[in-house]
Amino acid sequence: MRLAEELVGILRSSKADGLVVAGDAKHPIVGTPPPLRPVVFAFFARVLEEGVPVDLVLGNHDVGIVPHLPREVGVHAAGGLLRDGVGIFHGHRWPSNPLLRARHLVSGHLHPGFRLAPTADDPAGKRRCWVRVELPPPPPVPRRRRRHAPLAARELVVLPAFHPLAGVESLNRQRPGRGRTFLYQRFLARGSPRAYLLDGTDLGPLPRPTATPRRSLGRSAASPAR
C-alpha cells in the first residue's frame, strides 16, 4: 500500500477534488492474476477513502481489471475522458471525437524518461519526466481517419509513469523503442516536445523522434529505402 499512501499524500498536498488515472493501473497485460485482484481493490479503496471521485481511463495493461475495482470507480473506454475542457486518454488507441475537439490533451502510455549521466544512486541514468508538446495547426485529415473529428488541440502533456514496474522510456534517444506508436508520429514528431523532470527542472527540447526504418526481405542493411 506504499504507492496508495504516496498518492494520497499528493492528493492532500495539492487539495485535489478528483483523480483521473490515465491507464495502466496494473502491470500484467493479459488478465488480472488472482493474487493481484485484492491489491487492485485495496489500492483504489484507499484512495476513495479520501472522499475524492476516482476515474480510470483503460490502458493496454488494464485487461480484466474492471471486475476487481470498487464500484465507485468511474471506468472509461480507451477513447478517453473529457474533464473541465481537457481530454485525457491513455495513448494506445486514438482519442474519441470529443477529446479531439479539446484544446488540451493529456496521455500516458509512453512512460517518458530522460537519459542522463549515470550516478552511484542511479546507475542506469534514466529519470522519469513530463513531456509537453506544443502542436501546430493540424494537416488535412487522411482519408482513413475522416470518421474522426479534426485535431483541435494545441498542447499535449505526456504523463510520467507513477508505478516503478512500468519502466522508463528514454525519449532523448534518436529512435526510442516505442517510435512506431501514433503518439510519436501524430503528436511528438509533428509538434515541439520539451521534457521536464518531476521537480520541474526544464531539460530543454527533445529531438524530433523518428521511427526505425523498415527493411525489406532480401535487401541489404546498407541499401537505401525507396
Which residue reads 520539451 in cell numbers? 194
Residue 225, in any domain of the structure: no
Highest mean pLDDT among 121-125, 160-164, 171-175: 160-164
The grid cell for 187 is: 503528436
Residue 165, in any domain of the structure: yes
Give the separation between CA 148 and CA 11, rounded to whole angstroms: 35
Residue 182, in any domain of the structure: yes
Task: Please state the domain count of the chain.
Answer: 1
Tens-digit pLDDT profile for residues 41-96: 999 999 999 999 999 999 999 999 999 999 999 999 999 999 999 999 999 999 99
Residue 115, number of CB atoms within 10 A of its CB:
15
More confident residue, 37 or 117: 37
Residue 108, in any domain of the structure: yes
Residue 219, in any domain of the structure: no
Residue 91, in any domain of the structure: yes
Q: Supply the pTM of this predicted model.
A: 0.82
Tens-digit pLDDT profile for residues 113-137: 888 877 777 666 788 999 999 998 8
Residue 187, in any domain of the structure: yes
Give the separation between CA 69 and CA 13, rounded to whole angstroms: 25
Residue 96, in any domain of the structure: yes
Residue 175, number of CB atoms within 10 A of its CB:
14
Q: Where are the alpha helices (DSSP H) in 101-194?
A: 182
Give the domain extent around 192.
Answer: 77-116+127-205
Distances (CA, A) of 36 to 40, 64, 105: 6, 11, 31
